[in-house]
Structure 1
Amino acid sequence: MIAKISATENLGGALGYNFKKVEKGEASILLAHGLYQNKEEHYTMAEVFADMQALIPENCRTKKTVFHCSLNPHPDEKLSDERLTQIAKEYMEALGYGKQPYIVFKHNDIAREHIHIVSLRVDSKGRKIDDRFEKRRSKQITDTLERKYNLIPSSKVSEKAVTETPKVDTTKGNIKEQVASVVRMVLKHYRFCSLGEFNAILSKYNLVVEEVKTEFRGKKYDGLIYVPTDGKGGKISTPINASDIGRGVGYTAVQNTMQKSKQAIKPLIPAIRNKVLQTMRTSPNTEKELRQRLEEQGLRVVIRKNESGRIYGITFIDDKEGIALNGSRLGKGYAANVFNGYFSNPTHNPFLDETQYGSLSARLDQSATVHPSQLNTEESDNLVDELIEDMADGSFLSTGNDDWKEAAWQRKLRKLSKVNIRRRKH
């Protein structure tokens, strides 16, 4: 069972998200602890909000006064409402919120049933509930509850979810639920640093994500839409707004995943790069052979081409480790244009060049701790390539063929980099 905890100052937003699900028939209220119940024995959004708001002192110093948590059992668990209610009670008691007012919602909008809990982080006197090491303590509590109620351990969730999450199938209906299940699994299990890498992962599940920009009352907004595809990547269904799926799958959530991934992937890059290098040194004659040989190494590859057949993007995916890396993120010698050149003329294999790929791989492994002024021109160019990738990750880019734009940026930044290096030497 996995717990996701958040703190917010928007009580209306936390309650509104859950009560909206109740209104749509996608959720139900399991328990309201320490809250007013009307004569009809129902809880309404307005009454719960007023009840909780009244318990927050006006001079409260804590800004994020709202506790919002979801408890997610394994998809294979089929727990009764009584068991879920008991788990919620014991979880809140152990975490230090047993005397706080809180309300428990059971969500059934996706195949995996789970619960949401909304409470307050301050007591009636404005004193903050102890949240030191909250996530660590939460993990210990969920582990204890798993053992007590003989639940499937959360350590088995990610790998099982990756292998058992089905592709989106528009003929089966409940498209939004299917999309939600895939996206939430990917965001939980995988690390990626660009929209292209995110799409490479989603392609396995017949899904693509696109950025949308809108303007409302003079203010610009960034958002995402998810579109089901056929086996060849063609769009076959109406786009679904991320906001219609629910929390945690929108623009901000994806951007946060990308930012957090940047540090997490660094230790894994050398191993992925070595697997690709060793595979390419077997001189695969076709893309099919490349895929087969990479699969033997535990890697999956997604190759993107333009209408003329030119390779403009290549992404390597390790499903077990949960990581997706564009070729250029492995280093200059692994960019899409290198693979395009190789498959255009397989008789010339640049990966067999020990002078370039032998020492270069070792130098790249050390580049993260070396200042650019200490590198030669070739090494500097590789860091510039990585800089370009990072710049691209700062904002979403079109998934179309932007090779000429990228090449122009590379030439310009390389020139600037060389100038800066010469200046440092003087």
Structure 2
Amino acid sequence: MSIPYIYRAMIVKILSSAATFSGVQYNEAKIAKGTAQLLASENFSLLHLGPSGIADMDYKGYLQTWSRADNNRQTVKQPQFHAVISCEGREKDAYELQDIAQQYLEKMGYGENPYLIYFHSDTNNNHVHLVSSRVNAEGRKIDDSFERTRSQQAMKEVLQQDVGEEMRSNVNKALGFNFSTAAQFRLLLEGQGVKVEDDGISYCFIKYGRIVSALDKAEVAEKAARYTAPEARVKQLRALITKYKPGLEEKELKALLQTRFGVELVFHQAKGKDTPYGYTLIDHAKQQVLKGSQVMKLSELLHAAGPVSAAQRQAQRGEQASQWTITSQAEARILQRVFHLHAGSLKVNSPKDEEAREYASDRLNSMLANGKALPDMLESNGWSIARLEGQHYLIDKREKAIHPISELTTRRPDYGTAPVLDMDRELSPQASRQLECSNGAVTELLQLLAEGLHQSGWSAAQERKNKRKLKR
């Protein structure tokens, strides 16, 4: 999924490209529900609004035709440009957002293209969806190189933000931390997207390709000299890592510490080397920076601890599962099977995220339209498929979300070509024990569950076959 860029109270997010203009269908469906309105439909020169209005298929058809070459062959495989611009709360109304969106499209190179702007107010933040074609009037693809960086700069120009003020905020935030070395101070700024250069007297701060400001190195040195080691917090962090480290892979441990406790693990590696030579903890919750050795030796952190008890495994898996977006009891039941948790241990923790669903829908429909095989789709996207009470669900490991496939596409994937986790099937005692003893990584758990369910299905089929033989 694309990363959102934040500008004070504004966010712009470029969604995934798509082979079809499904963004039109999504937004028109919102209009039909009364939760959206079409603010602008520009440069659709051949379409004229009749008494009954313009159907979404007319917009889609126009955009599709616009995106084709003269020989009626689509040369840009995924021509849809789809972005979302949102404000904080109700700070801006529909027409203020429309004005921002049109200026943004102009700066991104889509101003002369046919485009649609839809306003939504069905979430806590007012926002607009922008849909256009990545093909220009000459039939060439609009330049999308460094698109995220250009998107960031375009929005800044639209909002006429003071980059100097933003940099002061970045530096003041870093200076607000308790750190012991200049390297830690630089690490804090780099985490905010600021490049730091040392000219011998000052630290020069670079953002958006230019030096924005500088700070006397002596000021940073004086701050570092006042550092006091937070002994109580060190003990607390060591206890947290000791508790949750067993059974977790490095990436999973990093994600858990950051999302659950506000602690970022930064590993330091030499160029061309896979093994880190050290690490730093950035404790955002307490505004502390700690050398890894203050908390736990690197060798101890990277190597597994002793035997993990069943209770520890349940606690770790419960923590991992709770990081997933759960919007229904069916999703909770699926995750309980995947993480081998007790029934009723997971609850709904989030409302439906329509943008996340739309993102998954775009990816799925695009690949189905291009004839990609289902097993290849699952592997390339980190997806699995589960079936519960006759309904199929898409499990997205990367986004930590589950979606009913019927809400993502009207097409019918060929489920017979790929492994499907039958959540209504019972596991054999042996398969259950294998899951119980696994290290708890979601990829391994899904693989073991798939093997266990397949084995259980084969055993059940064999048993039915034996019964039929006995009857004869």
- Return the TM-score normalized by structure 2: 0.38
Whichever structure has more helix as a proportion of its residues is 1
TM-score, normalized by length of structure 1? Answer: 0.42
